[in-house]
Structure 1
Amino acid sequence: SADIQVDKWVCNNSHSCAWVNPSSNYNYNDISYWLVKVTNKGPDNATGVQITDLLPSGLILTDYYIQMPGSDIWTQYDPSYNNSTGIWTIGNINVNQYAEFNFAALITKTGNLTNWANKTNQTEYD
Structure 2
Amino acid sequence: MSLHAYQQARTFSETPRTTEYRLISEITSVMVRARDAGLAGVALMPALHRNRELWSTFSTLCLHDANELPVETRSGIVSLALFVERHTSEVIKGAETVDELIAINRTVMEGLAMPPAAPVARIN
Same fold? TM cut 0.5: no
**Larger helix proportion, structure 1 or 2?**
2
**Larger strand proportion, structure 1 or 2?**
1
TM-score normalised by the chain length of structure 1? 0.29
TM-score normalised by the chain length of structure 2? 0.30
Rg: which structure is higher? 2
Structure with more relative contact order (C-alpha pairs < 8 Å, separation 6 or more): 1
